[in-house]
Chain A
Amino acid sequence: MITLEHIYWIMGLLAGGVAIVNLRDHTNPKRYNNAIFWGLYALTFLIGSRLPHFANGCLVIGMVLVASIGKLGQGAGESTTREQREASAARWGNRLFIPALTIPAVTLLGTFVLKGAQLHGVPLVDQKQITSISLGLATVVALAVGMVMLRPPALAPLHEARRLWDSVGWAAVLPQMLASLGALFAVAGVGKVVAGLAERWIPLGSPLVAVVTYTVGMALFTMIMGNAFAAFPVMTAGIGLPLIVARFGGDVVVMASVGMLSGFCGTLMTPMAANYNIVPAVLLELPDEYAVIKAQIPTALILLTVNTFIMYLFVYRRA
């Protein structure tokens, strides 16, 4: 059976390869730091499942120290010149899109084909992780297509991955760190404390105030946690169900559905949702890490207002 563990091995090999390329790159003034950073990251994928969690915690703290105190660097720029790339683009034409579009195509195919697929009565892939595994497999297929088509030097993919990954740098690990922080917040019961504060300090005497508190609270709490999924159970148990539904007789479906979408408005406005907001800014070579958030804030605020109206208009009507 193919599980996420196998995809993690590929990730480990990629990160390890990037570490080695960095180590041998004399154009990068921080090459040892980069090599240690990606090397430790590779270990969390290759043997992380078998190490005690304390050891994994130490690996992660090591990565953080290297990235924050030692700082990461970048090797010399692109491997081809603009003229070479334009000539290559003219030569290959639209065929260049084929490997790129192979990724979504195979991911999609995988999610359908692998669902329920069995070999000798055993599921071919871990059924709970089909999308993630399909994405992992799709990248391998797309790389194979690209290699056969373009016939680059054998190590070119690794060098190119190194170029892109180092341009993202520590931000590549931030989403995972924030997910870990969310887990620690949950263990420590941060959500309950916040909901308790809201109940104590906000006068929730009218149906409208209850709705506004719930939608705005979902957005704010999502901004703090970086994830609407973390905010939803707390806000719903703290404000949505006891007030909107129980006291004022609102409809639970409208409340829950629009409430979650109000949380998504918060996701658009917070650096804590790093994979949506910070990583693309770095990936698109924007010097302002908050540039994507700034582009999203007007849409998020207008939509949060609209959501509040939608909920107020419909939540009390249907019940």
Chain B
Amino acid sequence: MLTLIGILIVVAGFALRLNPLLVVTVAGLATGLASGLGPIEVVTAFGKAFIESRYVAIVWLVLPVIGLLERAGLKERARTVIAGIPAATAGRVLTIYFTVRQITAALGLTSLGGHAQMVRPLVAPMAEAAVENRYGEIPIATRRRIRAHSAAADNVAVFFGEDIFIAIGSILLIKGVLEQNGIRVEPTQLAVWAIPTAISAWLIHVTRLMLLDRSIRRELTAAAREDA
């Protein structure tokens, strides 16, 4: 039971909004100590795990080029492009991105997107610009809501697209775990059974994006009426 102390620390720490780096480190050290490792072994295990997880950070290599392009007006250009399309709304921009992202992920192209390379410089500015076109200057709360939905669209699309591709990590993991338990399955069968969920995810999320458009419209036309 003592081994669960790490989970307790994480839940409490995140709920109290303490610095997550500190919370996670303390949770890791506590879990190691609770499982009977000595202090030096715990630090060693933590260092080893951190070094072996470095691949997670490779995405930050996009920052120099994205920063350079932002400096040269990339976000402003993305806004201008959307300004030329009167039919654009935040929900429609995100629906198009969602659909493309989900289909490409289903073809195994999960690297064709992401928060640092696509959402921050392109998708979020485009979704914001679509709302600005219709309603002029938008309140900061609405702007933040659109941004949060831009990031959410990327996540949902890639999570429920990638499992249709047979060589993706999660499918290989399923195959591996089942094999350890003496069951052989074909990756293609697993991928086929990801399709009903993928379609449901599209329907649910695109409906929510349409509702987002509607709620933005209600919010901003009400605000305009109050101003008048």
Q: Is A295 an interface residue (CB 8 A)?
A: yes
A220–B132 Cα distance when bound, in Å, is 39
Verify B56–A103 contact, CB threshold 8 A.
no
Q: B179-216, CB under 8 A of A: which get 1 and which 0?
A: 01101010001111110110011001100100000000
A98–B57 Cα distance when bound, in Å, is 24
Verify B148–A100 contact, CB threshold 8 A.
no
A256–B171 Cα distance when bound, in Å, is 9
Binding-face segment, A117-125, A206-214, A273-281? A273-281
Enumerate A258-311 residues with CB–CB distance to B below 8 Å.
258, 260-261, 264, 267-268, 271-272, 274-281, 283-288, 291-292, 294-296, 298-299, 302-303, 306-307, 310
Enumerate A1-30 residues with CB–CB distance to B below 8 Å.
4, 7-8, 10-11, 14
A182–B201 Cα distance when bound, in Å, is 27
Verify A294–B148 contact, CB threshold 8 A.
yes
Which residues on A sit within 8 Å (CB–CB) of B118? 104
Which residues on B sit within 8 Å (CB–CB) of A127? none
Q: Is B221 an interface residue (CB 8 A)?
A: no
Verify A284–B73 contact, CB threshold 8 A.
no
Verify A276–B21 contact, CB threshold 8 A.
no
Q: Is A113 an interface residue (CB 8 A)?
A: no
Q: Is B224 an interface residue (CB 8 A)?
A: no
Which residues on A sit within 8 Å (CB–CB) of B61? 7, 10-11, 14, 135-136, 139-140
Q: Shortest distance in angstroms between A249's beta carbon and chain B's nearest beta carbon? A: 14
Q: Shortest distance in angstroms between B18's beta carbon and chain A's nearest beta carbon? A: 8
Which residue in B19, B35, B71 is a CB contact (below 8 Å) of A80? B71
Q: Shortest distance in angstroms between B123's beta carbon and chain A's nearest beta carbon? A: 10
Q: Shortest distance in angstroms between B46's beta carbon and chain A's nearest beta carbon? A: 5
Enumerate B52-98 residues with CB–CB distance to A below 8 Å.
52-77, 80-81
Which residues on B sit within 8 Å (CB–CB) of A68? 19, 21-22
Residues of B in contact, count (CB < 8 Å): 108
Q: Is B49 an interface residue (CB 8 A)?
A: yes
Verify B163–A190 contact, CB threshold 8 A.
no
Which residue in B19, B55, B113 is a CB contact (below 8 Å) of A4? B55
Which residue in A156, A187, A281, A298 is a CB contact (below 8 Å) of B208? A298
A184–B26 Cα distance when bound, in Å, is 12
Verify A175–B65 contact, CB threshold 8 A.
no
Verify A58–B54 contact, CB threshold 8 A.
no
Contacts A60-B50, A296-B156 given: A233-B177 contact, CB under 8 Å? yes
A201–B109 Cα distance when bound, in Å, is 42
Q: Shortest distance in angstroms between B23's beta carbon and chain A's nearest beta carbon? A: 9
Contacts A190-B6, A310-B196 given: A57-B47 contact, CB under 8 Å? yes
Q: B12-46, CB under 8 A of A: which get 1 and which 0?
A: 00100001111011011001101100001011111
Which residues on A sit within 8 Å (CB–CB) of B51? 44, 48-49, 53, 56
Contacts A67-B19, A157-B65 given: A177-B50 contact, CB under 8 Å? yes
Beta-carbon nearest neighbor of A157 in chain B: B64
Verify A8–B54 contact, CB threshold 8 A.
yes
Which residues on B sit within 8 Å (CB–CB) of A103? 62, 65, 117
Q: Shortest distance in angstroms between A105's beta carbon and chain B's nearest beta carbon? A: 9
Which residues on A sit within 8 Å (CB–CB) of B201? 299, 303
A242–B89 Cα distance when bound, in Å, is 49
Seen from chain B, the residues whose Cβ lies within 8 Å of a Cβ on chain A are 1, 3-4, 6-7, 10, 14, 19-22, 24-25, 27-28, 31-32, 34-35, 40, 42-77, 80-81, 109, 111-113, 115-122, 124, 144-145, 147-152, 154-156, 159-160, 163, 169-170, 173-174, 177-178, 180-181, 183, 185, 189-194, 196-197, 200-201, 204-205, 208
10 A-B pairs whose Cβ atoms sit less than 8 Å apart in the complex: A59-B47, A177-B20, A181-B28, A184-B32, A253-B193, A261-B160, A268-B152, A277-B155, A291-B148, A299-B208
Closest 9 CB pairs of A and B: A160-B67, A57-B47, A89-B73, A56-B47, A188-B35, A157-B64, A180-B49, A257-B193, A57-B43
Given contacts A139-B65, A184-B28, 6 further A-B contacts (CB under 8 A): A92-B77, A187-B35, A256-B185, A258-B197, A271-B20, A284-B120
